Structure 1
Amino acid sequence: MTTNPHRTRIEAAFAEAGVTGWLHARDIDSGAQVDAGADQSVVTASVHKLCLLVALHREAEAGRLDLTERTRCPPTGRTPGPTGLAAMLDEAVLSLRDAAYLMVSVSDNTAADLLLARVGLDAVNATTRELGLTRTRALHTFAEFLAALRADVGPEGPSALVDPQVVARLRALDPRRSNHSTPREMTRLLASVWRDEAVDPAHCAAMRRLLGLQVWPHRMASGFPFDDVHVAGKTGSAPTLRNEVGVVEYPDGGRYAVAVFTRAGSPAAALPAADAVIGTAARLAVEALRSR
């Protein structure tokens, strides 16, 4: 576990950025850990797409689906979102594995729900349960998550989020009523993918590839601005929430799984300091692990 100075620096970084944060980091090979609220139950938001990705590949390994099979995405009834199929206008037909690429690389909500329709919430929860993640559970699709947000915010829309009472009633921000996990369980899941334990090595390699293609550089990756350090991960967002889980790989072979979940005091959509502190906290945790 972390020494107090490491945790103190991480918590100070969160405070300076105006967020409450929870973090867990683990050396994938030695098992050494850094803990700053690692067992807090947290809303995963789009981070739960990692659980769906693992479930998809376990279903493929078991022969219950073929990753190359085609799925049709009609132009209506799509899960809202600013990226990928969610933002496109015309009918699309693509393979399950290409839908997984969109789900991970640009956090495409429509692609995620297409995969959920094929895999099922029960399979996602069976996957996390079988991997020993007893505090990780999916309660709803991504469309249902967004519908609950809209219903709870009310007719005023996003402008109502300036009212703390509105934010307090959002089911989407309550781990008891939303998809949830803990930072420690998320690093355990990442480590199982990087150690070829979640599924067979070929499927784990395919998942590592997709996580390495995520396009967002403003959270965890911002803490490691080095050409020879590779960050692969998955973000998640909701009003006041900014999350990312990922693996940081160094050229000397060091591999570190990090999960950072934050909640800001402000509902503003643009809070650069709140995004950047995810990278800062991840770097502090990885430096602590590498100093041992």
Structure 2
Amino acid sequence: MTESTTPDHSRARARARIRDAFADAGVTGWLHARDVDAGTQVDAGADQSVVTASVHKLCLLVALHREADAGRLDLTEQTVVPPWDRTPGPTGLAAMLDEVRLSLRDAAHLMMTVSDNTSADLLLARVGLDAVNDTTRRLGLTRTRAVQTFREFLTTIREDVGPTGPQALADPRVIARLRAVDPARTSHSTPRDMTRLLTAIWRDEAGTPDHCAAMRRVLGLQVWPHRLASGFPFDDVHVAGKTGSAPTVRNEVGVVEYPDGGRYAVAVFTRAATPAATLPAADAVIGTAARIAVDALRSPGTAASTGAP
């Protein structure tokens, strides 16, 4: 797909507004947005290596569907999940108390819609880290890599926090030593790689049309409205996405679809200056920054622009 940028003045203005929004919210942020069909882009730190956290579940979803398409697994395959061996988390199977039987595609539904860690690790055990990384490599995501399971990701936090326990996460010095917030030591990507992946899904290039349609459907069922979707509070604008979180880390990637047919892939990754777990402004700025970028892509003259990324 041919890539192009917005006109220089429009791009610079949008970048400045995005950085101001990040600063006002008390975060450092990185963003990339692209028109799925025209290829025009807005770049605000698009090639920064970032911690993906649960955003990497999107890569796992694509790998799962490609494995199914290759005949190496059946999405309707049933699995039993016992109550005593589950990856921690507040949602989905991770929070349930009894034995559960479900299909792989239903586990994928829980993984994407409520970011269930147990479902993600169940699928990762079936697909494998190597297949996830082979998938991203084949799709041209040269700076994206999964290095651990979600259980291992959470274990590093527990180990790095030490015997004091979760309350130690209020200390910025503790946050600074967490492997989970260092992209060199955990699963990572860049905003540009993530919009490339989303664009491939929306253009039926990440798999067969049927598999890409299934991925788009489940991304559209995510329940969280407080980040990316908050920037597009309109009944006729559809937002499909995947969040990711860790101490001081708040992310979301997704596609915004307008009723006139416009489709825009957006990836926003942030680090907060404060370790507070509840920061509404830090969540909301993901939607604000995305809206600024999409408005720039929809501005007159953008679709005709050309140039290097």
TM-score under structure 2 length normalisation: 0.94
Cα-to-partner distance string for 1:111-170 (whole Å, 9 max, x where unaligned): 000000100000000000111111000000000000000100111122212222211110
* Aligned counterpart in structure 2 of residue 166 of structure 1, from 145, 164, 174: 174
Partner of 1:116: 124
Alignment of 1:212-227 (within 5 A): 212-227=220-235
Partner of 2:109: 101
Q: Does 1:273 align with 2:281?
A: yes
CA distance in 1, matches of 2:286, 2:13: 18
Alignment of 1:158-197 (within 5 A): 158-197=166-205
Cα-to-partner distance string for 1:220-247 (whole Å, 9 max, x where unaligned): 0000000000000000000000000000
What is the one-letter code of the residue matched to 2:116? D
SS in 2 for 1:75: coil
Partner of 1:261: 269
SS in 1 for 2:184: helix
What is the one-letter code of the residue matched to 2:33? A
CA distance in 1, matches of 2:147, 2:79: 24
Q: Does 1:199 align with 2:197?
A: no
CA distance in 2, matches of 1:109, 1:6: 35
CA distance in 2, matches of 1:158, 1:42: 23
Q: Does 1:51 align with 2:59?
A: yes
* Aligned counterpart in structure 1 of residue 159 of structure 2, from 151, 159, 180: 151
Once the two structures are TM-superposed, the CA of residue 95 in structure 1 deviates from its matched residue by 0.2
Query: Once superposed, what is the RMSD of the aligned Cα atoms?
Result: 0.6
CA distance in 2, matches of 1:238, 1:163: 15
CA distance in 2, matches of 1:206, 1:164: 41
What is the one-letter code of the residue matched to 2:88? P
CA distance in 2, matches of 1:228, 1:181: 31
Cα-to-partner distance string for 1:240-266 (whole Å, 9 max, x where unaligned): 000000000000000000000000011
TM-score under structure 1 length normalisation: 0.99
Gaps of 5+ in 2: 303-309
CA distance in 2, matches of 1:56, 1:162: 37
Matched residue count: 292
What is the one-letter code of the residue matched to 2:121? D
CA distance in 1, matches of 2:267, 2:214: 21
Q: Does 1:141 align with 2:149?
A: yes
CA distance in 2, matches of 1:56, 1:230: 24
CA distance in 1, matches of 2:262, 2:71: 34
Runs of 4+ in 1 over 3 A off after TM superposition: none
